[in-house]
Structure formats: C-alpha cells, structure tokens
Amino acid sequence: MLDTNVLMGFLGTRGVDFGVKVLGALAVWIVGRWVIGWIKRLAFAGLERGKRIDVTLSRYLAQAISVALNVLLILAVLDIFGVKTTSFAALLAGVGLAIGTAWGGLLTHFAAGVFLQVLRPYKVGDQVIIAGVNGRVRELGLFGTTLVTGDNITALIGNNKVLSDTIQNLSTLPTRRVDTTAKIANSVNPHEAIEKLKAAVAKIPNVATEPAPEIQILQFTPEGPLLAVRPYTHNDNYMQVYFDTHKAIVDTFGAAGYPVPETPTVQRSAA
C-alpha cells in the first residue's frame, strides 16, 4: 500500500520545487526569445547599414546569430532542470540513428548554404529557377532558400538541393528574350507580315533596341507559315512585354486585313 502521507510529503516538497523550475524556465524562455528577436533585428539593421555587406549576406548572418542564440537559450532552460551540457550531448547521441541522419541532412544543407554565400549564383531580389521552381529570391537562409513564385506562393528549397541542381538566374543579364509565335495564312506575304510586325513590336514599351527584336519564319504548316516573334527586355518587364507582344500581333494583323489561318480541306477522291 502506498503511504498517502509519504506521497503528500513528496508532492509538497518536490512538486513545489518542480513548479518553481517550470515557472523559471518559462520566464527565461519568454524573456530570452524577446531578447533574441531584439538582437536579431539590431544585428540585421547594423549589417544593412554597412555598405560593404549586401542584403543577402546580412540576412544570412542575422539568421546564423539567431540560431546560435536559440541553442544557448535551450541549453539555459535545460540547465534550470538540472540537465547539464554534457548530459544533453549524451542524450542527443543516444536518441538513435534517425535523428542522427536528420541532423546530418541539416549539416549538409548548412554547408551548401555556406558555399552558396561564397559562390553567389543569386542574391535577394533575383528571379531564378531552382529545383524546377520559378520565383523571386526572398531569403538565402542557413538551411534553405525561400522563393516567392509569380502566383504569390512561398517555396522553401533545401540549400543542398539548390547546389546539386541546375540554377538559372534570370536577373543576371541586362535583357531576357520573350518567345512567342504568330501564324499567318498561306495567302499572306510572309515578308510583308514580318516587316509590319517588326515595326509594331519595336514600339512596345520596355522592348530593348539591342538586341533588336527577332521575327523570322519558324516553320511551315498546312495553315500557313508560323513566325517566331522574339523581342528582348529586362526581366522586370518580361510579363508586360509578353502580353503586349500578343496584343501587337492581333492589332497588326487585324489592321492589315490578314485572314485567319484555316486548315485546308482534304478532298477525297471518289471511289
């Protein structure tokens, strides 16, 4: 039989002690998180004011500081409960292979992030295609890169995945080619159509003059020649030029009175 007096005495001593520790740990955690947030904002603001450090590196360093301080905060909370650093390390070592493998993966992403900071294939604000995702770089973090896609979706890609895959930076060069096509009927003079379309595309706002827009016969189809229409523009104006080019094709061919290409009727011989 369990002695009720012993149990109540244990709860009266150990329970109060444990409750004090919980309250103390909670207070340390709340204050610590507030202090870490304040230090992170202060560090980021200080790094941004430094003209020699761009926003990509400053955000990376600020996040590294935040992670290091959070680790220290966790160790401080564990210390309140009597878990020393050596005991904590032994606990992590004995958890098992699964956590060890996950930790190894995190270290891989961390190492890849360091290499990305050194190699600089992209920076915050660049339009990139990485791991099949097309978006603008919001942050190059310790373990992953955050992109915002054109339809306003946030995508987080592990740095190791980024480094081991093809990286396409659409913002590095001053201009980017817009690719579209326009089909004309067989009765239309393709040389005339090309000249009219060149003049119209050149007038589109933000279309680059160098390289000049390219309009050539791409291929021949039963309906008529298919024209390749390729103006150049800065990546920031890509979608505007893309849509305006389609509008220019419709307006130009409509003003010229070009007929709509139609599939030729196949005549069958009488049996």
pLDDT digit string (tens) for 189-226? 999 999 999 999 999 999 999 999 999 999 999 999 99
pLDDT band at 70 (very low <50, low <70, confident <90, very high): confident
Instruction: Establish if 268 belongs to a structural domain.
Output: no
Co-location of 151 and 206 in the same domain: no
Top pLDDT among 21 and 138 is at 138
Co-location of 141 and 192 in the same domain: no
Q: Tell me whether strands 127-130 and 167-169 are parallel, antiparallel or unpaired.
A: antiparallel
Question: What is the per-residue pLDDT for 67?
Answer: 73
Query: What CATH number is associated with residue 151?
Result: 2.30.30.60
pLDDT band at 1 (very low <50, low <70, confident <90, very high): very low
Co-location of 161 and 216 in the same domain: no
Co-location of 165 and 180 in the same domain: no
Instruction: Establish if 6 belongs to a structural domain.
Output: no
**Mean pLDDT for the chain?**
81
Question: What is the per-residue pLDDT for 169?
Answer: 95
Cα 23 off chain centre by? 40
Co-location of 135 and 185 in the same domain: no
pLDDT digit string (tens) for 34-63? 887 777 777 666 666 655 666 666 667 777
Co-location of 160 and 204 in the same domain: no
Co-location of 33 and 89 in the same domain: yes
| C-beta separation of 235 from 269 below 8 A | no
Which one-letter DSSP state was computed for residue 36? H
pTM value is 0.63
Query: What CATH number is associated with residue 85?
Result: 1.10.287
Q: Who's near 176: CB < 8 A, 6+ residues apart?
A: 170, 232, 233, 234, 235, 238
Instruction: Establish if 47 belongs to a structural domain.
Output: yes
Phi-psi map region of 168: left, alpha, beta (phi>0 left; psi -120 to 50 alpha): beta
Co-location of 159 and 184 in the same domain: no
| C-beta separation of 159 from 145 below 8 A | yes
Instruction: Establish if 103 belongs to a structural domain.
Output: no
Query: Domain span at residue 143?
Result: 121-169
Question: What is the per-residue pLDDT for 271?
Answer: 44
Total tally of structural domains belonging to the chain: 3
Co-location of 182 and 165 in the same domain: no
Query: What CATH number is associated with residue 243?
Result: 3.30.70.100
CB atoms within 10 A of CB 200: 21
Co-location of 19 and 41 in the same domain: yes
